[in-house]
Structure 1
Amino acid sequence: MGDNKKIGIWSLVMMIFVPTFNFINIASNAVYLGPAAIPSWIIVSLLFFLPLCGIIAEMASANRDKDGGIYTWVNEAIGEQWAFVGTWSYFIGILFFLQMAFSRIPVAASWALFGRNIFNNSNAYLLPILSIFICVSMTYIATIGVNKFSKIADFGGKFTLAATFIFVLMSIVGFLIGKPSATVFTAETLIPKFDVSYFSTFSWLLFAVSGAEVAGTYIKETENPKITFPKAMVRGTVLIALSYILGSVAIQLIASPEVLENAGLKDAAFVVYHVLAENFGLSGKIIVQIYAAINLITSIAAYIIWMESPIRAMFSEVPEGTFPKFLTVKREDGTLVNALWTQCLILVVLIAIPLFGLNSIDNFFKLLTDLSALTVVIPYIVLSVAYISFRRTNKDVDFKFFKSNWMAYTVALIVFVLSCAGFFGAGLDYVVGSTGKEAMALIIKTYGGPIILITVGLLIKYFSKRVYENN
């Protein structure tokens, strides 16, 4: 592959930005937390997201000749077994996330075409059908290759960044020229109430900033990766952190807690654009349609990356025999076409089952979704431990985000502690208040689920190895 086809720095920045930043995350956490979302985003950005991205930048730069992403980084630091555990958890968590995520695209398309969500009531049955079509279409785009779909991410990411910047700017300008804030800012409203409900919501904020690691699987496709990748990680991280923090401030200026709560989690991000437009005498419907069209393009790009990157991480660098050879066959550009279409088939089954009214099977898949809810945080726990080992054994790496070992170990410990806290905190809201058998069932599903699914992955690996060695 010639250099003219390599991914440039700003395209890579957008491939970090697009799957990580989502304006809907700002709106939904504004619904849950109100003004307390602002300091929460600051804490998450400074203590978790920025250190995590520094860790990723260092480990990816040191392994720039490999395209396995998180699998390669962990494998090089603490061995193949932990690499499998971390990457399998990552892959499974994203798989079940995608099953639910495809339904967001028709909603964004509805806002873009009609200026409202037409899937709220009687038309909701169409979402699974449309999701299947979207899943197949996006899988096909993912198989075309990273150099093609990175252009969608580049285009959508820049427009999303522009839309967010305009939203923040107009919100602040409106406030400065005398439009009163829709939210009352006081010490009481800004300081979080450190109760179980807040701790649970704060944990999901940690998951909202996950995604920067997906770019690591494309480092071999990057132009001059030794310099480009670390620079792109730094720029992407700063853009994402500022977008989340300033976007949270802007939403509070524009919409009161009551407006956000009435809009609901699905529609709050669109409603605030409508409110902002009408504050300046513009057509709320048209502005929302423009924003929704941008959100639609960005969502398509984000979900394609989420479909393709975890596949690379899971199947591209594993030892022979870990999975059936059919799943690990790579095209010259690193694309695992067979694995992508196998994933598509699994997703179609997961989406389609409820359409046939097969309640027992439907309940089984819902159980799998519940079991997988917290698997997405396990890779960050494993990665933070791997990074400590990486810094201890790699004294002279080309790129060091954290110059001193003391700083490197400190931030890794912070990421580890917050990841563990996120794992246990995210399920507290479900468990606290329940008693007896109900509480025990919730604990097993919420916290035991990842262990069960990791065990399943290890069994698949074990039997695949046995078959491989016997042939």
Structure 2
Amino acid sequence: MIMTKKKLTLTALILMIFTSVFGFTNMPRAFFLMGYASIPWYILAALTFFLPFAFMLAEFGAAFKDSKGGIYSWMAESINPKFAFIGTFMWYASYIIWMVNVGSGIWIPLSNFIFGVDKTQSWSIFGLNSVQTLGILAIIWIIFITVVSSKGLDKIKKITSAGGTAVALLNVILIVVGLLILVLNGGEMAQPLSGGAFTSSPNASYQSIISIFSFLVFAIFAYGGIEVIGGLVDETENAEVTFPKAVTISALVIAIGYAIGIFVMGAFTNWDFAYTQFSSAETTLGNVAYITMNNMGYQLGLAMNLTDAAAVTMGNWFSRYMGISMFLSLSGAFFTLSFSPLKQLIEGTPKEIWPSKWTKTVNGLPTYAMKIQGAIVIVIIALVSFGGDSAAKFFEILTAMTNVSMTIPYIFIALAFMGFKNKDSIKKPFEMYKSKSKAKLATYMVILVVGFANVFTIISPAIDGDIMTTVWSIVGPIFFGGVAWWLFSRYENKQK
């Protein structure tokens, strides 16, 4: 029965936020791109975007603790329903593409766990090539996720807690082992701290103003995803106290965790080490996290005076642990994202917009709509995996269309926050921003930072000669916004 259903505790909610937002791979990627110089940019992104935005969500969550619609309900009450629907629909569309991406990519960490290296490019079943094989696995994965998720929040909670715990432990290992290597090496950092280490990158590709600005975009996106848990306010125990506390604790832990993690990496990672391969062409944003963890195990072995062969073996085992941790973490995020954005879209918006079957819930979740969502994701995966070059290009276009669409809703939410603060009729049991002037400052800061990131994301490909990606980045928000406008206008006409 719904009345006896277990509610989310503070710990469970923090782990859900941690799993949805914190990306362990963001730290080795940041160190790969900017070295120690990435830390100030991560702190800047946390201070100007993540923390003020998280506190906005905490206020919204406490005020609308009985609302099932998440960010839609917040924006609809604060501004108006059409504004809210357009912002929510654009945000939801981006998660469909996320599921397509991760459905195929989740097998890379699993391969690292099993083999110690990524062998997915050589996988084949039924004589299919690797892309088609990963497509089949992704389709099976989507079916599995949809079936398990539709059984209810309790099942999802166990998996996301396992994912959050695995990544939390991965970070503990990074910090503890990094410090141990530092002690064993007599306090000498592998990457020297001298001469502008926190202001200039060791990466030759990140010396210009344009490339450095592109890193700020990367840092902002590293904090994305916290709005997903907006739909869980009504599922949270003692929500007006627990929800803002969970958001606040998570925001601080994630921001500090990123900074410490990046710094500790310098204890065992140097751009000139042959084994690290940071300066080689083989190192990419996709595999740098596994190379980093492998190198950490290798450097620990050397610091313990083991043989080179034993150090290599130790490195491979660190890579394996990285693989299983990332697999569990991505699985946890997948379970949360398979229902939370859709739950907010379906339950928060007027029921008349959707077919009646879509709005029916089982175990508190819109299970029929989840099946439709799963079918859409499967169709896109099948098209991309089996459609050849034209389908691959189609997916590149879809990705470009959603890059900007994913973050524009942050601007919608920030604008709605000002409406929220100005409406005295809305009861506010929790307030981080005690005065309207502080709320305005936070709003303008978030809009400015996210707006800058989006403008740069749009023009950056054109600067590099890729005009079409820039065009599709502009078309994406217009297209998704237009679809949302049409759906809501049709609903308004029906009401009239």
TM-score by length of 1: 0.92
**Residue 260 in structure 1 maps to residue 278 in structure 2:** yes
Which letter does structure 2 place at the counterpart of 1:401?
A: M
Q: Which of residues 129, 138, 154 is equivalent to 1:131?
A: 138
Q: After superposing the two structures, state which structure 1 stretch, 348-357 or 114-123, moved more.
A: 114-123
Q: After superposing the two structures, state which structure 1 stretch, 214-223 or 173-182, moved more.
A: 173-182
Quote the Cα distance in structure 2 between the aligned partners of 1:364 and 1:396: 46
Matched with 2:106 is 105
Which letter does structure 1 place at the counterpart of 2:294?
A: H
- Summarize the Cα distance change of 1:223–1:117 in structure 2 as closer, same or farther, 3 Å threshold: same
Q: CA deviation at 1:403?
A: 2.5
Matched with 1:462 is 489
- Summarize the Cα distance change of 1:161–1:365 in structure 2 as closer, same or farther, 3 Å threshold: closer
Q: Deviations over 1:204-255 (max 9, x none)?
A: 3212211112222111111111111111111111221122111111223322
TM-score by length of 2: 0.88
Matched with 1:301 is 332
Matched with 1:13 is 14
**Residue 222 in structure 1 maps to residue 236 in structure 2:** yes
Verify the 8 A CA contact 1:99 1:347 in the aligned structure 2. yes
Quote the Cα distance in structure 2 between the aligned partners of 1:402 and 1:132: 45
Which letter does structure 2 place at the counterpart of 1:196?
A: I
Which letter does structure 2 place at the counterpart of 1:307?
A: S
Matched with 1:73 is 74
3-state SS of 1:90 partner: helix
**Residue 144 in structure 1 maps to residue 151 in structure 2:** yes
Please report the RMSD computed on the Cα atoms of aligned residues, expressed in angstroms.
Answer: 2.2
Verify the 8 A CA contact 1:85 1:454 in the aligned structure 2. yes
**Residue 446 in structure 1 maps to residue 473 in structure 2:** yes
**Residue 167 in structure 1 maps to residue 174 in structure 2:** yes
**Residue 190 in structure 1 maps to residue 198 in structure 2:** yes
Matched with 2:216 is 202
* Residue ranges of structure 2 left out of the alignment (5+ in a row): 125-129, 201-206, 302-310
**Residue 379 in structure 1 maps to residue 393 in structure 2:** no
Verify the 8 A CA contact 2:61 2:240 in the aligned structure 1. no
Quote the Cα distance in structure 2 between the aligned partners of 1:8 and 1:323: 32
- Summarize the Cα distance change of 1:351–1:464 in structure 2 as closer, same or farther, 3 Å threshold: farther
Verify the 8 A CA contact 1:72 1:83 in the aligned structure 2. yes
Q: Which of residues 298, 305, 308 is equivalent to 1:278?
A: 298
Q: Deviations over 1:82-129 (max 9, x none)?
A: 111110111011111221112221111101111110024576322222
Q: Deviations over 1:380-435 (max 9, x none)?
A: 1011111111112138611012233322221111111111111111233201143x
Q: After superposing the two structures, state which structure 1 stretch, 88-97 or 139-148, moved more.
A: 139-148
Q: CA deviation at 1:358?
A: 5.6
3-state SS of 1:190 partner: coil
- Summarize the Cα distance change of 1:428–1:188 in structure 2 as closer, same or farther, 3 Å threshold: farther
Q: Which of residues 454, 468, 476 is equivalent to 1:423?
A: 454
Which letter does structure 2 place at the counterpart of 1:387?
A: F
Which letter does structure 1 place at the counterpart of 2:42?
A: W
Verify the 8 A CA contact 1:115 1:285 in the aligned structure 2. yes
Verify the 8 A CA contact 2:59 2:432 in the aligned structure 1. yes
3-state SS of 1:347 partner: helix
- Summarize the Cα distance change of 1:136–1:464 in structure 2 as closer, same or farther, 3 Å threshold: farther
Q: CA deviation at 1:183?
A: 2.2
Q: After superposing the two structures, state which structure 1 stretch, 80-89 or 194-203, moved more.
A: 194-203
Counting aligned pairs with the same residue, the percent is 25
Higher relative helix content: 1
Verify the 8 A CA contact 1:323 1:461 in the aligned structure 2. no
Q: CA deviation at 1:318?
A: 0.8
Verify the 8 A CA contact 1:18 1:298 in the aligned structure 2. yes
Quote the Cα distance in structure 2 between the aligned partners of 1:353 and 1:270: 30
Q: After superposing the two structures, state which structure 1 stretch, 235-244 or 114-123, moved more.
A: 114-123
Verify the 8 A CA contact 2:384 2:394 in the aligned structure 1. no
Q: Deviations over 1:289-348 (max 9, x none)?
A: 1232122111101111112111011111111322222322223x4301111111111111
Quote the Cα distance in structure 1 between the aligned partners of 2:29 and 2:318: 20
Which letter does structure 2 place at the counterpart of 1:172?
A: L
Matched with 2:305 is none
* Residue ranges of structure 1 left out of the alignment (5+ in a row): none
Matched with 2:127 is none
Verify the 8 A CA contact 2:160 2:335 in the aligned structure 1. no
Verify the 8 A CA contact 1:39 1:190 in the aligned structure 2. yes
Aligned length: 464
**Residue 28 in structure 1 maps to residue 29 in structure 2:** yes
Verify the 8 A CA contact 2:93 2:402 in the aligned structure 1. yes
- Summarize the Cα distance change of 1:122–1:155 in structure 2 as closer, same or farther, 3 Å threshold: closer
Q: Deviations over 1:178-206 (max 9, x none)?
A: 26433233454422556122212321321
3-state SS of 1:102 partner: helix
Which letter does structure 2 place at the counterpart of 1:195?
A: I
Q: After superposing the two structures, state which structure 1 stretch, 9-18 or 450-459, moved more.
A: 450-459
Verify the 8 A CA contact 2:417 2:443 in the aligned structure 1. yes
Quote the Cα distance in structure 2 between the aligned partners of 1:360 and 1:279: 44
Quote the Cα distance in structure 1 between the aligned partners of 2:428 and 2:445: 22
Matched with 2:246 is 232
Matched with 1:330 is 361
Which letter does structure 2 place at the counterpart of 1:357?
A: G
**Residue 339 in structure 1 maps to residue 369 in structure 2:** yes
**Residue 318 in structure 1 maps to residue 349 in structure 2:** yes
**Residue 368 in structure 1 maps to residue 398 in structure 2:** yes
Verify the 8 A CA contact 1:110 1:117 in the aligned structure 2. yes
Q: CA deviation at 1:8?
A: 0.8
3-state SS of 1:316 partner: helix
